[in-house]
Structure 1
Amino acid sequence: MIRRAKWVVCQLLVVVLLGSGAAAAAGGDGFTTRFVTVPAADGVGLGAMVLEPRTPGPHPVAVLISAWGGGATQNVIPAKNLADRGYLVVAYGARGFGESGGAVEVAGAADIADVSTVIDWALANTAADPARVGVGGVSYGAGIGLIAAGADARIRAVASLSGWADLAESLSQNETRHGLAGLVLYLSGKANGTLSAETEKMLTKFLTPHLSDADSEAIIEWSKPRSAVSHLNRINAHRPAVLTIQTWSETVFPPDQMVSLYQSLSGPKRAEFVPGDHASSESGGLLGLPSETWDSVYRWFDAHVAGTDDSITRENPIVTRARPGTQEPETHPDWASAVGEPSRWELPPAEFTLGRDTPANGGVPLATYSLEALTGDPPTAFLPLVSKRDAAIWQQAPRTTPTHIRGALQARFTVTPPARTGTVVAYVYDVDQFGVGRLINYLPYSWKDAEPGRPLRIDLAFAPTAYTVPAGHRVALVTDSKDPLFLDWNLEEGELAFSGPSWLDIPTKGSQG
């Protein structure tokens, strides 16, 4: 009943926003709007919103897939904008969410088949052009759309916004689970949809405090077919034009996997990286605000679906916008050109007590870096409050000129663990003259079978970023052992000692201060 009431409210909102479809692009005759239920092969009904141009077809097709928890009207503003450009738009809620029946399978086989079902329906019931089909989505819809491009050769272009390429890598990094993000996923899925028995089982298992190796392996196996990297050969065989837009500070789907995917794609491709957190760069456009992110989607579809404007294909395909603030975008012909040369910082010995938290942390999922996207200010920590009993702290001398960090920081620690299991979290800060650190990046690492008292090598490859450290500021590295974001393996307290060789490589372009 609650979901049905939401559906009615959304329909009324759409009527207000779209009217009768009379709002037209210059020289056009507008479009009609209707709500339908698309029958899937297994009998599940998919709630969909269809915007069809009044002009004679055939029309280029844009299929928009809802994000996690959303329904057919979630993408109403992009749908209207695409319809104004002459597209036949079918926006639908993924099964188990919104007005759609069935259960949430997390980009399972049925979800992927649903994309083809919606395309089939459009070709059979509208003046859709089978040779001009594009698929797009935010987050959950992005992941489904990417995989679907490997299953359906009719998909000529994909717009993946805040999506994922490797689900297992998104859930866990360096044997450390993203517990808080997983909890948000689980609770929001329960509140806004119907989880399948398998999804419920896997997410519950994922949130178990001390996961067994067998359960960990089960989650990895469950994740594989739900990852675009597992379908890469088929995606490349179909050669869809793929646009990916990712935020630097993604709490849910870190940008490094999109860099890897981009480099592995053989068809037309473009990748944009901007400040913010999961879905923050596209949220404004979903609300009807000006959006460079959605403008890129429209231009990408115009070039590779409608064939009306190919100007975006003549631009550099890598676009980055540095932090902090709203710096001008930097464009590059390839990823190698976007990253800097590493400068090594040797770290002296240090030690601290495992198992205690400090003010250093990665922020609140989906909130901290979304705020950065709005204000331009990264999350901060007052480093003088970070106890050296509970963390190791290294700081460089103040920079004499701005330092342009571009690419992935790399670290190596040589530590002597006090226990068989444990976790450390490393944070890199931009510190001003008052000791306020602005978070550049962070990464966890866990060990589960170390020999206490014997040196252990820890290698960290941070997600890539673009961050400019101002002149007069210094770079700091902090490691502690707890963060609310992660499910750690610190089962007992003890002294963790750092020795040589330990270092941090900072990739920089231009002046290094």
Structure 2
Amino acid sequence: MSGKHLIVSVGRMKHRVTAVVLALLGAVLPGIPAAAEGFDTEFLDIHTADGVALGSMVMKPASPGPHPLAVLIGAWGGGRTQNIIPARDLANRGYVVVSYGARGFGESTGEVEVAGPDDITDVTTVIDWALRNTEADPSRIGVGGVSYGAGIALIASGFDSRIRAVASLSGWADLVASLSTNDTRHGLAGLVLYLSGKANGTLSAETDAMLRTYLQPRISDADSDAVIAWARPRSPVTYLDRINANRPAVLAIQTWSETMFPPGQMAAFYQRLTGPKRAEFLPGDHAAAESGGLLGLPSDTWTSVYRWFDAHVAGTDTSIAGEPPVVTRARPGMQQPAYQSTWDEVLGEPRRTYLGADTLQDQPAVWTRGVAANRDTVADGGLPLATYSLEAMTGNPPNIFLPQVDPGSGAVWSQTSSGQPVEIRGSMHAHLTVVPPAATGTAVAYVYDVDRFGLGSLISYLPYSWKTATPGQPLPADFVFTPTAYTVAAGHHLALVIDSKDPLFLDWNSGGGRLGFASTAADPAWLDVPVHPGRA
């Protein structure tokens, strides 16, 4: 096949295909009509210059064009019909819609390259095809997706200046930061990614090798550097200057308890964008906020996408462009949204308490204590994609009964109860001295909202690892938690728990011994909590 553009393999069934597909979906999923009016649908392959067939679903409004174009990219493991409900809704709003599965997934041939160069070129290929074969308007183009599709869309906006708007839902800004925190790999999330990729797609040899390398129980510095070198060009932040030069209008929607792509990296990325932008931060885990809309249920998340595209692609309703661009909903539950003009307005002012022997108190203290290394407690970060998705549905964060934390395996510091609600907004920061029993090791910190009965609701958690420590020598450790918005109820108090193991992480513990913690006069241990001004 010659040339940079594409040949189309078409099985033209048009509207009757839409009716059949939507009728079948409507039989099993609530809220999906038997057929949608006002557009025709085709299922076809769009062929790339290197011979890959991108399985695509194309919806064309029946009204005369030109029409705005929306390109929707499938999530990890998804195919062309994964976004059928958003595609239908956009088509009914007058958009030409092309929904496709990324190469190696769904009906698409080729191999999964994890937002590699070919994935980015594919976006341009799909846009080129739509402009040649539909009545799409070349000056009105939007691209978006959930998770995998979100990352590809963001990067593509830096390489194709025709993209006027991007919708990034549960996407990533920095893949390097997503894979590891404080030298601690997110092993369970990585395993879910790898196994689901193997089960639902065709991983390229490089992708397979990099993910298997990442999941090694003990990874060498050379292998770690190789994974970082592979991940960096797959990160939107690497192309921030290009994205800013093209000035697409970027909508980023993220959840506070993201297991895959913690929200701090997207908040930092958002602040550095110079074009039109909007960020929404919600309770829940990866893709939890979008899932209902993909099933045809009412969805504020997808409504924001439609309004964003209407404002910055179609130009039909610009009302969202006049609203404060940062939207937050606090935990627990789905509290009423707060609207801010900047990310800085979200953040609270740090309030410091000091770690005593087993309390959080007003004055610094001198103490030492230890726990058994390489032993878990009831404190943990939950299950990827499940624990916090359940929180989004029920409004209840994951719980433990704090007195059940084994004092021989985990240290607990508790605060006195507050007589009024405390609105935590931003990143908590714990500092203390660790005394490692071995050259390598890991500690995991958790902050809980504890009621008067001792039931703790998890606010945030974070690992911290060391790989070149001197056993028995004090090591300053800083736990800077991912940002959150959480309201501690009146009569509740905070508790900090630190142990040395969590199933979420590939830790660096190398055996037993005693993991020490200390606070000295010269370097006291403390916890900073960002509290919204006037609300504590």
Question: What TM-score, normalized by structure 2, do the two folds share?
Answer: 0.91
Distance change in 2, residues 1:320/1:242 (3 Å): same
Q: Does the aligned pair in 2 maintain the 1:20–1:32 contact within 8 Å? A: no
Q: Distance in 2 between matches of 1:419 and 1:10?
A: 62
Q: Distance in 2 between matches of 1:10 and 1:384?
A: 57
Q: Distance in 2 between matches of 1:21 and 1:480?
A: 53
Which residue does 2:3 correspond to in 1?
Answer: none
1:61 aligned residue (37, 59, 69): 69
2:81 aligned residue (55, 73, 76): 73
Find the residue that maps to 1:151 and give its secondary structure: coil
Is residue 391 of structure 1 aligned with residue 410 of structure 2? yes
- Structure 1 segments unaligned to the other structure (5+ residues): 1-8, 25-29
1:52 aligned residue (53, 60, 85): 60
Which residue does 1:371 correspond to in 2?
Answer: 390
Which residue does 2:331 correspond to in 1?
Answer: 323
1:113 aligned residue (112, 121, 126): 121
Which residue does 2:462 correspond to in 1?
Answer: 443
Which residue does 1:496 correspond to in 2?
Answer: 515
Which residue does 2:190 correspond to in 1?
Answer: 182
Deviates more, 1:493-502 or 1:425-434: 493-502
Deviation, 1:16, is: 4.2
Is residue 148 of structure 1 aligned with residue 156 of structure 2? yes
CA displacement 1:204-237 (0-9 Å, x = unmatched): 0011000000000000000011000101010000
Deviation, 1:12, is: 5.1
Q: Distance in 1 between matches of 2:23 and 2:148?
A: 26
Deviates more, 1:14-23 or 1:214-223: 14-23
Q: Distance in 2 between matches of 1:21 and 1:442?
A: 45
Q: Distance in 1 between matches of 2:201 and 2:19?
A: 18
Q: Does the aligned pair in 1 maintain the 2:22–2:34 contact within 8 Å? A: no
Q: Does the aligned pair in 2 maintain the 1:22–1:31 contact within 8 Å? A: no
Deviation, 1:512, is: 6.0
1:219 aligned residue (222, 227, 248): 227
Matches within 5 A, 1:281-430: 281-348=289-356, 349=367, 350-430=369-449
Which residue does 1:474 correspond to in 2?
Answer: 493
Which residue does 1:159 correspond to in 2?
Answer: 167
Q: Distance in 2 between matches of 1:14 and 1:425?
A: 47
Q: Distance in 2 between matches of 1:382 and 1:11?
A: 52
Amino acid at match of 1:361: D
Which residue does 2:45 correspond to in 1?
Answer: 37
Q: Does the aligned pair in 1 maintain the 2:18–2:36 contact within 8 Å? A: no
Distance change in 2, residues 1:185/1:504 (3 Å): same
Deviates more, 1:102-111 or 1:350-359: 350-359
Which residue does 2:474 correspond to in 1?
Answer: 455
Which residue does 1:168 correspond to in 2?
Answer: 176
Distance change in 2, residues 1:11/1:143 (3 Å): farther
- Structure 2 segments unaligned to the other structure (5+ residues): 1-16, 27-31, 357-366
Amino acid at match of 1:159: A
CA displacement 1:386-409 (0-9 Å, x = unmatched): 011101100000111000000111
Deviation, 1:299, is: 0.2
Find the residue that maps to 2:157 and give its secondary structure: helix
Is residue 138 of structure 1 aligned with residue 181 of structure 2? no
Q: Distance in 1 between matches of 2:208 and 2:20?
A: 33
Q: Distance in 2 between matches of 1:376 and 1:17?
A: 29
Deviation, 1:13, is: 3.1
CA displacement 1:147-183 (0-9 Å, x = unmatched): 0000100000000000000001101110000000000
Which residue does 1:206 correspond to in 2?
Answer: 214
Distance change in 2, residues 1:10/1:218 (3 Å): farther
Deviation, 1:503, is: 1.1
Distance change in 2, residues 1:357/1:12 (3 Å): farther
Q: Distance in 1 between matches of 2:23 and 2:130?
A: 21
Find the residue that maps to 1:150 and give its secondary structure: coil
Q: Does the aligned pair in 1 maintain the 2:22–2:35 contact within 8 Å? A: no
Amino acid at match of 1:45: A
Q: Distance in 2 between matches of 1:11 and 1:217?
A: 51
CA displacement 1:297-322 (0-9 Å, x = unmatched): 00000000000011001100000000
Deviation, 1:384, is: 0.6
Deviation, 1:351, is: 2.1
Q: Distance in 2 between matches of 1:326 and 1:166?
A: 27
Find the residue that maps to 2:114 and give its secondary structure: coil
Amino acid at match of 2:525: S
Distance change in 2, residues 1:286/1:379 (3 Å): same
Q: Distance in 2 between matches of 1:184 and 1:12?
A: 33
Amino acid at match of 1:504: L
Count of matched residue positions in the alignment of Structure 1 and Structure 2? 500
Amino acid at match of 2:372: T
Which residue does 2:36 correspond to in 1?
Answer: 23
Q: Distance in 2 between matches of 1:11 and 1:379?
A: 42
Which residue does 1:124 correspond to in 2?
Answer: 132
CA displacement 1:299-355 (0-9 Å, x = unmatched): 000000000011001100000000001210011010111110000111123321111
Identity of aligned residues (%): 66
Deviates more, 1:161-170 or 1:503-512: 503-512
Is residue 465 of structure 1 aligned with residue 488 of structure 2? no
Question: What TM-score, normalized by structure 1, do the two folds share?
Answer: 0.95
Find the residue that maps to 1:454 and give its secondary structure: coil
Amino acid at match of 2:409: D
Matches within 5 A, 1:239-254: 239-254=247-262
Q: Does the aligned pair in 2 maintain the 1:324–1:468 contact within 8 Å? A: yes
Q: Does the aligned pair in 2 maintain the 1:175–1:447 contact within 8 Å? A: yes
Amino acid at match of 2:527: L
Distance change in 2, residues 1:197/1:400 (3 Å): same
Amino acid at match of 1:341: E
Amino acid at match of 1:443: L
Find the residue that maps to 1:283 and give its secondary structure: helix
Deviation, 1:14, is: 3.9
Q: Distance in 2 between matches of 1:163 and 1:14?
A: 28
Distance change in 2, residues 1:104/1:12 (3 Å): farther
Find the residue that maps to 1:155 and give its secondary structure: coil
Which residue does 1:5 correspond to in 2?
Answer: none
Distance change in 2, residues 1:372/1:33 (3 Å): same
Which residue does 2:9 correspond to in 1?
Answer: none
Distance change in 2, residues 1:431/1:511 (3 Å): farther
Find the residue that maps to 1:359 and give its secondary structure: coil
Which residue does 2:280 correspond to in 1?
Answer: 272
Q: Distance in 2 between matches of 1:98 and 1:411?
A: 44
CA displacement 1:86-126 (0-9 Å, x = unmatched): 00000000000000000000000000000000000000100
